[in-house]
Amino acid sequence: MTQTPDVSGGGIPDATAPGTASDGTPVELVAAGELAGVPDEFQRLWTPHRMAYIQAGREPMEQNCPFCAAPGKTDEDGLIVARGRSAYVLLNLFPYNSGHLLVCPYRHIATYDQATPEEVAEIGDLTQQGMRVLRAVSRCDGFNLGMNQGAIAGAGVDGHLHQHIVPRWASDANFFPIIAKTKALPQLLGDVRRTVADAWAAGAGAA
């Protein structure tokens, strides 16, 4: 019989011995083999912090544009690192790498050809500044820059134009995302936002 660890941290008791939850509530421990489910070859990486995204589902993304909503929030809540006149910069909520930035116009436009000359110029300027800031704070070795235009081209939010700035390091490529469909990120979004925003404000993005 497979024994279940004591949740109170006291080692591995008998499989049916009572345990104590972190709040002091008694719990009955049951052998894993007696529970519902079929064992398989997959490992489980528990990420409870992502429940906010799962519970939100697709509905908020489709009905309320996140890139229109972000500027109305505090920088911390909106994950914003810099604000310009016609465009701003924020962290990607679903980053490929730590420090993955998005440059968005304030106006709700879908494609690059709809942007005004002023918006195009500022998106370009903020992209350059973002690269300099990320290079200063993270010592990255390169970048992936790009825009996915339309859902068919892979845009997650296809209604609002956004430029990706993805920092890359010589050692960031491995088999984890390919085999496990999982990306390991060493820093929390709030910590990354604070570091990048502070460096930006200090002039690290200046030419």
Per-residue burial over 32-52, b if 16 or more Cβ lie within 10 Å, else e, is eeeeeeeeeeeeeeeeeeeee
Query: What is the torsional sign of CA 129, 157, 113, 83?
Result: negative
Active site residue 162: yes
* Residue 107 dihedral angles phi and psi, to the nearest 5°: -70, 145
Contacts of 204 (CB under 8 A, 6+ apart): 132, 133, 136, 137
- Residues 101/92, Cβ–Cβ less than 8 Å: yes
Contacts of 122 (CB under 8 A, 6+ apart): 84, 85, 86, 87, 105
Q: Tell me the Cα Rg of the chain.
A: 22
DSSP E strand stretches across 107-162: 142-146
Residue in 100, 160, 162, 164 annotated catalytic: 162
| Residues involved in catalysis | 162
